[in-house]
Amino acid sequence: MNKPPRINSSIQTLENVITVLKAGTWEWNLQTGIVTVNRFWYDMLGYEDAEPEMTMQTWQDMIHPDDLEAVMSAVKMHLDGNSNVYEVEFRLKHHNGEWVWIKSSGRIMEYDSNHDPLYFCGVHIDITEKKTVQAELRAANELFRFLFSNSSDAIVLLKGAEIMDCNPRALTFFDCSYRNHIVGKSLPDLSPAEQPDGSESLVRFETSLQKAETGNPQWFAWQCQTVNEEAVDCEVCLKKLTSNPEGYIVALLQEVSAE
């Protein structure tokens, strides 16, 4: 019996999407335990088609031990009717022994007359690259936070002109005890109205900040003042944090000793 043209068209569209995404499809027969997968499923793990033969136990044996409990919990939750969709991220072992990060999504597609589930179907998407980028960003952020906290120079974190955070050295630099003396203000707020060369602090700083926001680091001589209004001569570096999507600017202040 031929399928109606509209159904054939929908099937072709689905197959095209699977091909473009290189999505690994899976179909778990809950009565037999056999899992049927497509060639993309095997490809992302470095196997030839139908090698190895897939069963639920084979699949479980390929899951990273640290992820197995969470994966099986998500499966059980869906089979028990406690979730509308099964969705979980975990690692599967590649044929070469490395781990591939997978996003697996699916749902029960067929029930018997007693409303017991018969077929559990879904897709695997390789998200290893995404996870690698996330891990690199976390490492970069941890390194930045370490350097930020332990730097011998005063550092403030800017969003626009507003100071969002400061390191411990900045408290000493501005001769204050609490972050709220600095956070929420701008660098011109913590400086005299005019710089030693006669330029207006606000105008000069905004000009440098605009250049830094375009990705061009700025170095310039500057005079700040402590909370007690004592002048502090320094060199300022403004640099955009490229690893942060919020577009923060790091301002590093190096005190210049009077000769």
pLDDT digits (tens, 9 = 90+) for 98-131: 999 999 999 998 888 888 889 999 999 999 999 9
Q: By the 8 A CB rule, do 119 and 108 touch?
A: yes
- 198 with 124, same domain: the answer is no
Residue 165, SS3?
strand
Domain boundary residue, one of 84, 106, 132:
132
Does a structural domain hold residue 143?
A: no
- 69 with 169, same domain: the answer is no
Give pLDDT, residue 258: 59
d(CA 140, CA 250): 14
Domain boundary residue, one of 132, 166, 194:
132
pLDDT digits (tens, 9 = 90+) for 152-188: 899 999 999 999 999 999 999 999 999 999 999 999 9
CATH number, residue 228: 3.30.450.20
Which residue range is the domain that position 202 belongs to? 149-255
Q: How many domains does the chain have?
A: 2
Residue 117, beta-bridge partner list: 111
- 116 with 191, same domain: the answer is no
- 88 with 116, same domain: the answer is yes
DSSP 8-state class, residue 123: E
- 125 with 153, same domain: the answer is no
Does a structural domain hold residue 76?
A: yes
Question: What is the mean pLDDT of the segment spanning 196-205?
Answer: 95
Tokens for 59, please give them: 């699949």
- 113 with 45, same domain: the answer is yes
d(CA 21, CA 6): 23
Domain boundary residue, one of 79, 107, 132:
132
β-strand pairing of 249-255 with 154-159? antiparallel
* CB atoms inside a 10 Å sphere around CB 69: 10
**Residue length, the chain?**
259
Share of the chain above pLDDT 70, in %: 88
- 232 with 198, same domain: the answer is yes
Instruction: Give 56: exposed, middle or buried? Use CB within 10 Å, 0-12, 13-18, 19+.
Output: middle
Complete edge-to-edge strand list for the sheet that includes strand 35-37: 35-37, 24-29, 117-126, 99-111, 86-93
Asked which of 143-147, 191-195, 232-236, 248-252 is least confident by mean pLDDT, the reply is 143-147
Does a structural domain hold residue 34?
A: yes
* Average of per-residue pLDDT values in the chain: 86
- 83 with 161, same domain: the answer is no
- 188 with 251, same domain: the answer is yes
C-alpha dihedral (113, 114, 118, 122), degrees to nearest 10: 100
Question: What is the mean pLDDT of the segment spanning 230-245?
Answer: 87
Give pLDDT, residue 61: 93
Does a structural domain hold residue 79?
A: yes
- 52 with 166, same domain: the answer is no
State yes or no: pLDDT of 10 exceeds 60: no
State yes or no: pLDDT of 257 exceeds 80: no
Q: By the 8 A CB rule, do 138 and 100 touch?
A: no
Q: By the 8 A CB rule, do 154 and 173 touch?
A: yes
Does a structural domain hold residue 137?
A: no
Does a structural domain hold residue 140?
A: no
- 250 with 218, same domain: the answer is yes
* CB atoms inside a 10 Å sphere around CB 220: 14
Tokens for 206, please give them: 């905004």
Q: Phi and psi for 159 in degrees, rounded to 5?
A: -125, 110
d(CA 39, CA 19): 10
Instruction: Give 150: exposed, middle or buried? Use CB within 10 Å, 0-12, 13-18, 19+.
Output: exposed
Does a structural domain hold residue 54?
A: yes
- 85 with 115, same domain: the answer is yes
Peptide bond into 52 cis (omega under 30): yes
Does a structural domain hold residue 138?
A: no
